[in-house]
Amino acid sequence: MENERIKHLGQLGEMLANNDVIAGLSARAESANPWFVPRFVGYSLNAIANEMLAPAKLEKWLSAYSLHPVDKTIGLIFAGNIPLVGFHDFLCCYMAGCRMQIKLSSKDDALFPALLNKLFEID
């Protein structure tokens, strides 16, 4: 199960590395929050794609932990001051196999659902 999640996240990272996808997500984010200028949204998306979702980096990160199936629901509250600031929290819960209840900030309620929909397309 862990390997499948890593594979799916790697595919999401490849999608995010596509400049057309980044441009579309950046435009959507900026229309929802004028502080989210495309350059900063691009920084966030590139960091997620290249640093958090690269399969080799995921495997190295997870090698330090012993993951067991968890039957818990975790509540996540995402701040809206930085584009996708709560993505790492989501990533941790996703890899642990937890159910999540996520409260999005009204100032960042476009980007994360768009990423989640892309992940749903894959997984």
Check residue 1 and give its pLDDT. 63
Q: What's this model's pTM, rounded to 2 decimal places?
A: 0.89
SS3 call for 23: helix
Here the tokens at position 87 are 């993505």
Task: Give me the phi and psi of 74, to 5 degrees please.
Answer: -105, 135
pLDDT at 34 over 70: yes
More confident residue, 106 or 2: 106
Mean pLDDT, range 79-94, rounded to an integer:
92
Burial-class residue 116 by CB neighbours within 10 Å (0-12, 13-18, 19+). middle
pLDDT at 19 over 70: no
The two most distant CA atoms of the chain are separated, in Å, by 41
pLDDT-based confidence at residue 7 (cuts at 50, 70, 90): very high
- Could you tell me the CA-to-CA distances from 11 to 35, 39, 76, 99, 102 in Å, in that order? 29, 23, 24, 21, 23
Find the range with the poorest average confidence among 15-24, 77-86, 106-115: 15-24
b/e map of 94-109 (b: 16 or more CB within 10 Å)?
bbbebeeebebeebbe
**CA-CA distance, 97 to 74, in Å (whole number)?**
10
More confident residue, 118 or 101: 101
| Distant-in-sequence, close-in-space partners of 113: CB < 8 Å, separation ≥ 6 | 104
